[in-house]
Amino acid sequence: MSNKLEGKIAVVTGGTSGIGLATAKEFTAQGAKVIITGRKKDEVEKIANEIDGIGIVCDQSKLSDIENLVTQVKSQFSSIDILFVNAGIVLFSSIEEATEDHFDRIMDTNFKGSFFTLSKFIPLIAEGGAITLLSSINATTGQSNSAIYSASKAALLALVKVGSTELVKKGIRINAVCPGPISTNLLAPAGLDNATVQKFASETLNKIPMKRFGKPEEVAKLVAFLSSEDAAFITGSEYVIDGGTNVNPIIG
C-alpha cells in the first residue's frame, strides 16, 4: 500500500459503516490520521479503535453537533488536510405523498448538514487541502419515489461548483463523488422490509451494465485519489462511479 496520505489529518463523517468506513480504512492504510463521526457512541468508539483513529459522536442533522465536532477537532489539531462529507440518509416517497417531516429529515442531514459541515470546517483546512462531498447518480436521474433524496444530492453538486470558485483562493480543492448502486446497508433505515429490499436489489442489478454492485472499497479508492496530490489539478468536478448504470443505452 502506498503512503500518499502520510502525515495528513482526515475527517470522515458517517465513518462507521459503508462507504464512510471503507474510506476511513483506506485513508488510514495510506498513512493518514483519521477522525470519524457517527451518531452511535458504541459504534464510533469501536471503529475508531479498529483503525487506530479518533471517534467523535455527531449527528450531522444538528448544527450544534457540527459545531461541537469542529471544536473538538480544533482542540486536538491545528488544522486538517482532508474532509470527506459522507454522512447521509435515504428515504423514499412519491412527490404527491411526501410529508414535511420526510422532507426535513432528508434535507437536514443530506444538504443542510453537509453544507454546514463544510462551512464550519473551512477555517481549519490547511492550504493544499482537499474536500470531497458524497453525492449520488440520483442527483441527475429520475428514479421514482426519490424526489427529495435526489434533490438533496443535486444540491451538493451545486455546492461543489460554487465551493470550487470560493476555495481556490485558499488553495483548497473540492469535488463530488457520485456512486451508483453500491453494496452497503444504506437502505436499512429506509423503512423497507427485507422482501422489498431484495426486489429493489434484483431490479437494480438488471440495470447495471457490469452486472454487479459496486464495493464500498472501490468508492473509497476514488475518494482517496481525489484527496491526494495525484489530483492536484482537479477541483469543481463530479466523479460518477456506477458500473455504467448512467449510460442507459437504447440498444445493446
Active-site positions?
149
Is 54 in a helix, a strand, or coil?
A: strand
How many beta carbons lie within 10 A of that of residue 147, not counting itself? 19
The 3-state secondary structure of 170-218, one letter per residue: HCCEEEEEEECCECCCCCHHHCCCHHHHHHHHHHHHCCCCCCCCECHHH
Query: Which residues, 6+ apart, have CB-to-CB distance to 78 below 8 Å?
Result: none
**With contact defined as beta carbons under 8 Å apart, do 187 and 224 qualify?**
no
Cα–Cα distance list, 194 to 1, 191, 244 (Å): 37, 10, 26
**With contact defined as beta carbons under 8 Å apart, do 35 and 54 qualify?**
yes
**With contact defined as beta carbons under 8 Å apart, do 92 and 106 qualify?**
no
- Closest by Cα among 144, 245, 249, 252 to 204: 245
Helix axes 114-121, 63-76, angle to 10 degrees: 30
